[in-house]
Amino acid sequence: MTIHTKPEPEKPAFAVTTGPLAGSRKVHDSGRRFPDLRVPGRAIEVEGEPVVRVYDPSGPYTDATATIDISAGLPRHRGPWVRARGDVEEVDATVIPPLGQGGAVPPFPIKHRPLRGKPGRTPTQLAYARAGIITPEMEYVAIRENLGRTEAAKARDGEDFGAAIPDLVTPEFVRDEVARGRAIIPANINHAELEPAIIGRNFLTKINANIGNSAVLSSVADEVDKLVWAIRWGADTVMDLSTGRDIHNIREWIVRNSPVPIGTVPLYQALEKVGGVAEDLTWEIYRDTLIEQCEQGVDYFTVHAGVRLAYIPLTANRVTGIVSRGGSIMAKWCLAHHTESFLYTRFRDICEILAAYDVAFSLGDGLRPGSIADANDRAQFAELETLGELTKIAWEHGVQVMIEGPGHVPMHKIKVNVEKQLQLCGEAPFYTLGPLVTDIAPGYDHITSAIGAAMIGWFGTAMLCYVTPKEHLGLPDRNDVKTGVITYKIAAHAADLAKGHPGAQAQDDAISRARFEFRWHDQFNLALDTDTARSFHDETLPKEAHKTAHFCSMCGPKFCSMKISQEIRASAAAQPSDAVAAGMAEMSEKFKALGSQVYVEIDEVAAAGKRP
């Protein structure tokens, strides 16, 4: 069935949210090396000013000209790029054992034969980058990162703690960063629907949203809509953490309809296959699950290979023990068998599988702290060192890697997490969950974690995994997903501003000019959440005439500082011979004569200006 971009009076059964955000339109840039690339961006119209270009992970769903049919999936535009490299071949899909399927979700209607790297070939972005090859994916993300800019940024203002953010991202820079392992482009060769994105400290900070059911699905369209909803508000990647029996089919629907990289924790599905009994997990079941998901097109896997047997006793005196689901499952397995986990002992085998499909590692932090008391403890940092060791092994196999991080960490212990991670893991991208800076606010953990996320992003974390208001309490609903995404867009953007990312401040400046000039529509359209901004304003001043009013209900017309500020300037401009204007001009000149110092000594000001 076809869902049109304008809402139908009767919503079809398989509907997802479509249509552009208010005041925005989809734009596309083409490549130089690869002229056929159509790199998406969002252009926000602004009255009397150039459009503001923002990063746009929302895919065709926000394209007014697109026709969406989730039963067909998104266009597989990336297929030719992958096949053109000549290093992949079609294979027969792995037969899925009935245990992995519950029957409540229909299979995706279209079957695509999976691709796999030819024997002896490594079809990964890392391998290409090392070989000096610039792929279409690399030029795509280079264009995407520049937000429509084609010239190097001029003024830069920020503290980047030793990052190497360029003034303009070039495909060569992308290739170099991927080759060094400092950035990854998660892009499974079987995810032909992907709009590639890059994750690394020298690029825009990315955010991930988790979706997925715990039990029985209401409908497959609901799950796909959660994906579409999350990317509509800015999620750069989505992890499908479903744990029910239908996860194979639901994942197929998600990947086929996802323009963003999809991550999973394959251990969850493996555990389903052994009826939830951790001790019964085997390498063979896990391996087959990896291959099954590689063939579907999952772009990155969380693998908790750093949970070593020796580290488990280090958690014995913790306040909250092991709080990672995967970490606790593997800890139980290790103790039951009293041996190292197969994730650790078979790590090179895992690398070989991932390399054949270009699935990236997200090396899981199974021993991350789950409380302020447990932050930065021995268990956590012991595992991090093992993750560093495993990073180098993955790189040997040409597999891209990012490293997962905490968790619950008070503010004064955040920075050392980034420093250790960069040092131990060879600057592989860091991907953190928050961190939450206090434990005492369940119901508000999107906020406790956004504080930590903004800071850790500033210090150098490449991707921030969102936390919703329901964290610790229950499953997020659609509103929670949106709140989590917007909150993490705030954290990521604040980090980009503080790092001095070129172009990041353009949106701030545009919305602030609109605010000063009472262009209310522009304020709403330039907001991260245009709908909420508009509805909050309209609660008290709903009329269209109020959209140009020189005040809002917060202070009212008489006490509006911006209105008074404007009057001051207007008065100065309109009466050039007036003492006021002359005084302003004179003072401005005197201050310039003082050398336009950022900090003006009071005595100099007094000497230059009129005394009281």
Q: How far apart (Å, rounded) are the C-alpha atoms in residues 35 and 14?
A: 35
Give the residue ranges of DSSP H helices in 90-135.
Answer: 125-130
| Rounded Cα gap, residues 437 and 368, in angstroms | 14
Binding residues for [4Fe-4S] cluster: 552, 555, 560
Answer yes or no whether residue 426 interacts with a second copy by CB under 8 A: no
Q: What is the DSSP letter of 503?
A: T
Q: Tell me the two tokens of residue 283.
A: 């390498």
Closest CB 566 distance from a second copy, rounded Å: 7
3 state DSSP class of 264: strand
Q: What mask of x and - would describe binding to a second copy in positions 221 to 250, judged by CB under 8 A?
A: ----------------------x-------
**Number of other residues whose CB lies within 10 A of the CB of residue 377:** 16
Q: Which amino acid type is present at position 301? A: F
One of 38, 113, 474, 550 touching a second copy (CB under 8 A): 474
Q: Which of 376, 393, 426, 549 binds a second copy (CB under 8 A)?
A: 376
DSSP string, 454-493: HHHHHHT-SEEE---TTTTTS---HHHHHHHHHHHHHHHH
Rounded distance between C-alpha atoms, residue 566 and residue 573, angstroms? 10
The least distance separating a second copy from the CB of residue 258, rounded to whole angstroms, comes to: 23
For the annotated binding site, the residues are 210, 239, 268, 304, 324-326, 365-368, 404, 408, 431, 472, 552, 555, 560
Q: Does 385 bind a second copy (CB under 8 A)?
A: yes
Q: Is 587 in the site for a second copy (CB under 8 A)?
A: yes
Position 320 contacts a second copy (CB under 8 A): yes
Whether 142 and 173 have beta carbons less than 8 Å apart is answered as: yes
Sign of CA dihedral 553, 557, 563, 564: negative
Q: Where are the alpha helices (DSSP H) in 242-324?
A: 247-256, 266-273, 283-296
* Shortest CB 450 distance to a second copy, Å: 6
Question: Between 197 and 312, whose beta carbon lies closer to a second copy?
Answer: 312
The two tokens of residue 507 are 């949106």
The three-class DSSP label of residue 144 is helix
Indicate whether 279 belongs to the interface with a second copy (CB under 8 A): no
**Sign (positive/negative) of CA torsion 54, 58, 62, 65?**
positive
Shortest gap between Cβ of 264 and a second copy (angstroms)? 14
With helix as H, strand as E and coil as C, how does 423-448 read? HHCCCCCEEEECCECCCCCCCCHHHH
In b/e form, how buried is each residue of 269-290, taking b as 16+ CB within 10 angstroms?
bbbbbeeeebeebeeebbbbbb
382 lies in the site for a second copy, by CB under 8 A: yes
Return the half-sphere exposure (C-beta side, CA atoms, 13 A cut-off) of residue 516.
10
Q: Which stretch binds a second copy (CB under 8 A): 14-22, 101-109, 247-255, 603-611?
A: 603-611
Q: How far is the CB of 541 from a second copy (least distance, A)?
A: 7
450 binds a second copy (CB under 8 A): yes
CA distances from 599 to 405, 594, 612 (A): 40, 10, 21
Contact 212, 242 (CB under 8 A): yes
The burial of 90, by beta-carbon neighbours within 10 Å (0-12 exposed, 13-18 middle, 19 or more buried), is given as exposed
Closest to a second copy by CB, 14 vs 342, is 342
Q: Which stretch binds a second copy (CB under 8 A): 3-11, 64-72, 283-291, 555-563?
A: 555-563
Considering only residues 20-39, where is the footprint of a second copy by CB under 8 A?
none
Would you say 263 and 238 are in contact if contact means Cβ atoms under 8 Å apart?
Answer: yes
**Tokens representing residue 338 in the block:** 């009293």
- Positions 563 through 582 that interact with a second copy (CB under 8 A): 564-569, 571-572, 579-580
Binding of a second copy by 101 (CB under 8 A): no
Per-residue binding string, a second copy, 485-524, x by CB under 8 A, is -xx-xxx-xxx-xxxx----x-xxx-xxx-xx------xx
To the nearest 10°, report the CA torsion of 265, 268, 274, 277. Answer: 120
Under DSSP, the state recorded for 40 is E
Beta carbon of residue 281, minimum distance to a second copy (angstroms, whole number):
13
Report the alpha-carbon distance of residue 472 to residue 443 in Å, rounded: 8
Closer to a second copy by CB, 95 or 215: give it: 215
Which 353-372 positions form the footprint of a second copy (CB under 8 A)? 370-372
Using CB under 8 A, pick the residue from 314, 352, 426, 549 that binds a second copy: 314
| Cβ proximity to a second copy, 110 vs 416, nearer residue | 416
**Site for a second copy, residues 294 to 313, rule: CB under 8 A:** 308-313
Q: Is 542 in the site for a second copy (CB under 8 A)?
A: no
Question: Between β-strands 183-184 and 360-363, what pairing exists: parallel, antiparallel or unpaired?
Answer: unpaired
Complex with a second copy: residue 83 or 591, whichever CB lies closer: 591
Nearer to a second copy, 67 or 339 (CB): 339
Q: Quick one: which segment of 23-31, 119-127, 348-356, 526-534 binds a second copy (CB under 8 A)?
A: 526-534
Q: How far is the CB of 544 from a second copy (least distance, A)?
A: 16
Amino acid at 590: K
Which helix (H) or strand (E) element contains residue 211? strand 206-211
Which CB atom, from 107 or from 557, has the smaller least distance to a second copy? 557
Task: State yes or no: residue 410 binds a second copy (CB under 8 A).
Answer: yes
Per rule CB under 8 A, is residue 332 in the interface with a second copy?
yes
Indicate the annotated binding residues for substrate: 210, 239, 268, 304, 324-326, 365-368, 404, 431
Query: Interface with a second copy includes 159 (CB under 8 A)?
Result: yes
Shortest separation between residue 70's beta carbon and a second copy, angstroms: 26
Compute the least distance from the CB of residue 276 to a second copy, in Å: 4
Chain positions 197 to 226 lying near a second copy, rule: CB under 8 A, are 214-215
Going along 374-436, which residue ranges are E strands?
A: 401-405, 430-433
CB of 515 to a second copy, least distance (A): 6
| Structural contact between residues 390 and 305, judged by C-beta atoms closer than 8 angstroms | yes
Q: Which is nearer to a second copy, 396 or 508 (CB)?
A: 508
Q: State which of residues 336, 478, 570, 593 lies at the interface with a second copy (CB under 8 A).
A: 336
Select 6 or 610, whichever has its Cβ closest to a second copy: 610
* Binder of a second copy out of 8, 92, 95, 440 (CB under 8 A): 440
